Amino acid sequence: MTLVQPEPTARKTDTDTLLALGLAAIAQRHEEIRRQDRLDDEHAVRYARAEAQATFGEDAAAALGEWRPSPEMPDGMYQAIVELTPRTSLICTMPRDGAGAVFEVLAYCGSCNRHSSNAVGSLADLAGALRGGLR
């Protein structure tokens, strides 16, 4: 949206009009940001599914479950998460330029209040990370 400066007149510019124009510009920008966030979420999930199929095979990728966009994507990256067990997730992080994804299993131990993270690059790595739990 391009705001146009009102033509100069002999009278002073109405403050209410300026406020209304400013609020309209803010609302439009907010909607543009929300639209871009939705697109980013869709891209992250779509790319994570495709990368999981390429990395783990179609059957394994289908068995993983539902990918969700990360609530806080790192700058310049897409990130999606699939919950494998109640306290274990597979995270797929990939640069926005499409250069290879990185998968990691993030596990949380409720009793010891610790996290562990294991990079995985194959189905065997994923199985090992799930069997290994917290280290």
Q: Which pLDDT score is estimated for 135?
A: 46
What does pLDDT average to over the chain?
86
Residue 11 has pLDDT above 70, yes or no: no
Q: Mean of the pLDDT values across residues 94-117?
A: 85
Question: Of 10 and 16, which is predicted with more confidence?
Answer: 16
Three-state SS at 105: strand
pTM above 0.85, yes or no: no
What are the residue ranges of helices labelled H in 1-135? 15-56, 58-64, 123-132
Q: What are 41's two structure tokens?
A: 């979420």
* Placement of tokens 């400013």 in the chain: 22
* Placement of tokens 């806080």 in the chain: 72
Q: What is the pLDDT of residues 115-124, one digit of tens each?
A: 888 899 999 9
How far, CA to CA in Å, does 92 sit from each of 5, 27, 35, 127? 47, 33, 22, 16
Q: What is the pLDDT of residues 36-62, one digit of tens each?
A: 888 888 889 999 999 999 999 999 999
Residue 97 has pLDDT above 90, yes or no: no
Q: Which pLDDT score is estimated for 1?
A: 60
Q: What is the pLDDT of residues 69-92, one digit of tens each?
A: 998 888 889 999 999 988 899 999
Q: What are 68's two structure tokens?
A: 């969700």
| Sign of the C-alpha dihedral computed for residues 59, 65, 68 and 73 taken in this order | negative
